[in-house]
Amino acid sequence: VQLDRLFETGNFDAMPSMMKLGLENYFCSQECFRKGYAIHKTLHVAQPNPDLALPPEFSGYQFTGDLRPACVTPTRSLPESIVRPDYAKDGIPRSEQAIRGSASIRVYSEKDIEGMRLVCRLGREVLDIAGDMIKPGVTTDEIDAVVHQACIDRGAYPSPLNYRNFPKSVCTSVNEAICHGIPDKRPLQEGDIVNLDVTLYKGGYHGDLNETFFVGKVDEESRKLVQVTYECLEKAIAKVRPGELYRNLGTEITKHARANGFSVVRSYCGHGIGELFHTTPNVPHYSKNKAIGVMRPGHIFTIEPMICVGTWRDRLWPDDWTAVTADGKRSAQFEHTMLVTEDGV
């Protein structure tokens, strides 16, 4: 259609495809255009996008599904005024390492709880901003840039940044990625699902939450997966009360997931959170787990079930962060930070 319009008007000075390629138009007439078209049309062949080139560490890697990594941009900087956690400089969470092996679960004070309420509320704001960006064509790197700036605007540090050398400010897990996906230059596509995992550090406390979003119109299986995953979180939250065993949350989650034909990831779990990004208790989401601990008022922890269409088994990408399903089928996740109170949560 475009060529027909050009032939009719004789206007060869404004060819969009040539302009996009940064090439000058050298046709002087319709006859000239016809004679040179065999050569000219080769310029319209899609050029490889360097942003989508496979990173070298993935050479020879056997992917389990259709998702592919893309270019990861340099780590973003922060103003000196932003208070940083202990791992911000070298990636080593020394405060977490200092209590490794302890089964003790901290009971937080009212002052601590107020600090946690603030940072969790700010985390909610940032996740909402990021979620509003989601549409086909947007890259997860662009989402990371917005999350990074939104944290700065709130005087907060994006907790994932340089935690054990994670290079970005938010985790973005697409389709078969279970968790810990690294934002990159791959554009989101119609029909994708994507989980955004946001954590902020402010006032000495971390607040952690995540949600799975639809990119445009998704298939019914994906829609059901995301809905059931959210329901699994709700059913687990309903069990939170003083005296409840942490291991029982996995029973509720697994029961609902299996009833809908889905499986529950076992390699990753919820965790205690507060002054430390990750601490006791461990909160597995699968049944018959051996989690230690009884809920008490003042306990703070996350519940974050990861539910899969196919197998619960996972594989780790060569980036040493992105966990994907072993069969390449989709996975979804939702997360909230919980405070145990005298009458529940």
Look up residue 37 and give its two tokens.
């078209």
> What is the model's pLDDT at position 15?
56
Q: What is the pLDDT of residues 192-242, one digit of tens each?
A: 999 999 999 999 999 999 999 999 999 999 999 999 999 999 999 999 999
Q: Please report where in the chains the tokens 């989690």 appear, as a residue.
A: 291
Low-confidence ranges of the chain (pLDDT < 70): 1-30, 32-46
> What is the model's pLDDT at position 48?
81
> What is the model's pLDDT at position 47?
72
Peptide bond into 281 cis (omega under 30): yes
**CA-to-CA distance for 262 and 229, rounded, in angstroms?**
9
> What is the model's pLDDT at position 22?
53
**CA-to-CA distance for 334 and 209, rounded, in angstroms?**
8
Cβ neighbours of 225 (radius 10 Å): 25
Concatenate the DSSP letters of all residues of 133-202 into one string.
T-STT-BHHHHHHHHHHHHHHTT-EETTTTGGG--SSSEEEETTEEE-PPP-SPBP-TT-EEEEEEEEEE
Amino acid at 200: L
